[in-house]
DNA sequence: GCGATTTGTCTCTTACAAAAGACACATGTA
DNA sequence: TACATGTGTCTTTTGTAAGAGACAAATCGC
């Protein structure tokens, strides 16, 4: 077990760096890996897809894909859509997901707090976590504004684009941060490029102030207020955040921030 | 952590001739199948478990189990618990589960209706579906009674024990029904044994009346009212049900049943 | 303290699953 | 009618992943 200090991952630089671009065209793949790719592919696709297309999408042989999909459908992890040649996630995954929620106090209470917060403030509120090194919106509640402020549950966004990202990485070694952030991640949606050092400085700042606000990073019309949720130790396990119009007054922002920090703190204790 | 339900038997009988009956003997198993067993095992266990125990639980070689678990943890389908030698479901499964909900109107609206219904009536309400041939409580909302009426999301119960079961099988061939119902399923919790023919007759009745009520089947103190939710065709896709004390008056029962059927019908259309 | 047990990693072998490819049957479209 | 394109199911081949086992290190039980 060597998870604690980031020794975990250097496996993938071992096998020949060849095939720079997209994907190892490689030879024979382990079935389980193919399955994991299939699931991930469905996750980004967000809708049912034909098995043929699925095979193309994960770059797997058609015959293999058919057998794997059949297994998964039999197991209930996937389901055939209506006519019977497209597949998507199945009930069993939903059940497993509910099991996860049940076993995870933080998530369960966090969802509740987020829902409350967005109902009380009318603003879009989110619960965010790191998911295998990626920033993930674990739960979001839409708020009551006329225009929809993006953000769907499960959405994954580069860490440097977000206020939460700065909090979630608090306390990590420089090397660890560097590992989690690709060059592409540092390129903001508006075309500006963030310097890694600046980002790391942001993280340090966010750590000491205990919150973080970013303006116009993900898009030009919103700003994001985020507050850390701590696990047992001092570790940042999640963040709660509010997404508000960028022209929200300073007073209003302060008020919301205070409320947000208070709720995030409430979530931290009692864990 | 003893064997709660006696699955752990055959402690040290020769692995060779273990072809007793139900279980396929040793031989080599496909990795994917092992994974599916692991997930299912965690689902019934309902908590984090050591990898060694997991290997025992699914009756897989230790080395294999370690490899698979590592893959799954890396993929985020499983997560290591605290100290790092126990595992349980991971965030990714939760995300996939949410994807399923998003892609499934019926489930999404059904959860809503169930929550409403139980809030309005104060009774425990559930949304039930068939999950790979098994009756499954897909969502439940507790109601306000002092004593907890069982029923947890994800729970699986033999079809003949439930009112919903009788509705869910409506329209199926006798053979299909027979396939889904084992002899054990026909043995009720109170020791009585249901005749398959009676059960099939119940199903036919339920189909024509458009609802089903069972009294004291799962336990002696409750009765269960169930109404069908139809998919596009006339197919029963799910049921909504209310679990109420067995001594609920006929009038009250009628009233609840009317409400339940109305809500279930509302869920059926617009699909 | 000192065995007995459990945990996590590693190596080696071969049984077998992943892949290739052929086939049959749909579609669509020139 | 031919001609492409997509789908689902076979069979065959062979690269490799599942499994057995050995190991060191941790953990438990007295």
Mean pLDDT of chain B: 83
Specify which of A132-146, A239-253, B81-95 reaches the highest per-range mean pLDDT. A239-253
Between these two residues, B271 and B173, which has the higher pLDDT value? B173
Question: Does some domain include residue B229?
Answer: yes
CATH number of the domain to which B33 belongs: 1.10.10.10
Domain match, A127 and A241 both? yes
Q: What is the pLDDT of residue A150?
A: 60
Give the domain range for residue B231.
Answer: 104-267
- Residue B13 binned pLDDT confidence (cut-offs 50, 70, 90): very low
Proportion of chain A above pLDDT 90, given as a percent: 45
CA dihedral for A31, A34, A36, A39, sign (positive or negative): negative
Domain match, B81 and B108 both? no
Measured between CA atoms, the residue of chain B closest to residue A94 is B97
**B104 by DSSP, 3-state: which?**
coil
Residue A219, phi then psi, degrees to nearest 5 = -145, 170
Among A92, A120, A152, residue at a domain's last position: A92
User: Residue B142 corresponds to which tokens in the numbers above?
Assistant: 């507790």
Question: Does some domain include residue B57?
Answer: yes
Q: What is the pLDDT of residue A257?
A: 95
Measured between CA atoms, the residue of chain A closest to residue B30 is A31
Domain match, B38 and B147 both? no
Domain match, B170 and B250 both? yes
Q: Do B46 and A102 touch (CB under 8 A)?
A: yes
Q: Do A95 and B43 touch (CB under 8 A)?
A: yes
Domain match, A62 and A151 both? no
Question: Does some domain include residue A5?
Answer: no
For B51-73, give the DSSP string: HHHHHHHHT--HHHHHHHHHHHH
**Shortest alpha-carbon distance between residue B100 and chain A (Å):** 5
Specify which of A15-24, A119-128, B51-60, B138-147 reaches the highest per-range mean pLDDT. A119-128
Residues A12-33 have pLDDT tens digits of 333 333 322 233 344 667 788 8
Between these two residues, B28 and B31, which has the higher pLDDT value? B31
Domain match, A134 and A204 both? yes
- Residue B240 binned pLDDT confidence (cut-offs 50, 70, 90): very high
Please give the span between the terminal C-alpha atoms of chain A, in angstroms, as a whole number.
25
**Shortest alpha-carbon distance between residue B253 and chain A (Å):** 31
| Alpha helices per DSSP H over A122-194 | 163-168, 174-180, 183-186
Q: Is the CB of B31 under 7 A from strand C?
A: yes
Of A30, A46, A103, the CB nearest to B31: A30
Mean pLDDT on B192-219? 91
Question: Does some domain include residue B3?
Answer: no
Q: What is the pLDDT of residue A33?
A: 87
Residues B105-156 have pLDDT tens digits of 899 999 999 999 999 999 999 999 998 788 999 999 988 877 665 657 777 8
Least Cα distance to A100 among A124, A131, A60, A75 occurs for A131
| Contact status, residue A196 vs residue A221, Cβ threshold 8 Å | no
Between these two residues, B201 and B27, which has the higher pLDDT value? B201
Residues A47-89 have pLDDT tens digits of 899 888 888 888 888 888 988 998 898 889 999 886 777 899 9
Q: What is the pLDDT of residue A110?
A: 94
CATH number of the domain to which A231 belongs: 3.30.450.40
User: Residue B206 corresponds to which tokens in the numbers above?
Assistant: 């339920």
Among A92, A120, A147, residue at a domain's last position: A92
Question: Does some domain include residue A29?
Answer: yes
Among A125-139, B58-72, B142-156, B248-262, where is mean pLDDT lowest? B142-156
| CA gap B164, A62 in Å, rounded | 39
Domain match, A252 and A123 both? yes
**Shortest alpha-carbon distance between residue A250 and chain B (Å):** 35
- Is the pLDDT at B14 greater than 50? The verdict is no
Q: What is the pLDDT of residue A270?
A: 56
Residue written as tokens 């439930």? B162
Among A92, A113, A147, residue at a domain's last position: A92
Q: Is the CB of B82 under 7 A from strand C?
A: no
Q: Do B95 and A47 touch (CB under 8 A)?
A: no
Domain match, B263 and B142 both? yes
Question: Does some domain include residue A97?
Answer: no
**Chain D bases closer than 7 angstroms to a protein Cβ:** 6-11, 15-22
A contact test, residue of B29, B30, B31, B32 with most A CBs within 10 A: B32
Q: What is the pLDDT of residue B243?
A: 92
Domain match, A42 and A135 both? no
| CA gap A69, B224 in Å, rounded | 37
| Alpha helices per DSSP H over B103-215 | 105-121, 163-168, 174-180, 183-186, 196-209
Q: Say which nucleotide is closest to residue A1, CA to C1' distance.
A: C8
DSSP for residue A217:
S
- Is the pLDDT at B20 greater than 60? The verdict is no
**Chain C bases closer than 7 angstroms to a protein Cβ:** 6-11, 15-22
Domain match, A116 and A200 both? yes
Count of structural domains, chain B? 2
Question: Does some domain include residue A134?
Answer: yes
Proportion of chain B above pLDDT 90, given as a percent: 48
Domain match, B113 and B147 both? yes
Question: Does some domain include residue A132?
Answer: yes
Q: What is the pLDDT of residue A144?
A: 82
Domain match, A75 and A143 both? no
Q: Do A100 and B97 touch (CB under 8 A)?
A: yes
Chain A residues inside the 8 Å CB shell of B153: 95, 98, 102
């Amino acid at each position: 077990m060597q998870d604690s200090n980031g020794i975990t991952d250097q496996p993938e630089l071992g096998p020949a760096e060849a095939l720079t671009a997209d994907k190892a065209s490689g030879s024979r793949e382990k079935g389980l890996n193919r399955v994991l790719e299939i699931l991930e592919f469905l996750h980004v696709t967000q809708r049912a897809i034909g098995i043929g297309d699925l095979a193309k999408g994960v770059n797997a042989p058609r015959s293999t894909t058919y057998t794997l999909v059949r297994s998964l459908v039999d197991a209930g992890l996937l389901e055939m859509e209506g006519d019977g040649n497209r597949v998507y996630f199945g009930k069993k995954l939903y059940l497993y997901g509910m099991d996860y929620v049940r076993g995870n106090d933080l998530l369960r209470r966090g969802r509740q707090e987020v829902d409350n917060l967005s109902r009380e403030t009318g603003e879009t509120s989110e619960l965010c976590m790191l998911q295998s090194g990626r920033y993930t919106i674990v739960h979001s509640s839409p708020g009551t504004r006329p225009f929809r402020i993006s953000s769907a549950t499960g959405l994954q966004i580069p860490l440097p684009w977000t206020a939460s990202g700065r909090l979630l990485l608090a306390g990590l070694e420089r090397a660890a941060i560097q590992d989690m952030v690709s060059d592409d991640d540092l390129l903001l949606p508006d075309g500006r490029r963030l310097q890694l050092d600046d980002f790391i400085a942001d993280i340090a700042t966010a750590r000491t102030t205990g919150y973080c606000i970013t303006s116009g990073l993900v898009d030009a019309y919103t700003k994001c207020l985020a507050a850390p949720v701590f696990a047992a130790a001092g570790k940042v396990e999640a963040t709660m955040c509010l997404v508000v119009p960028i022209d929200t007054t300073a007073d209003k922002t302060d008020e919301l921030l205070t409320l947000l920090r208070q709720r995030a703190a409430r979530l931290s204790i009692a864990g």
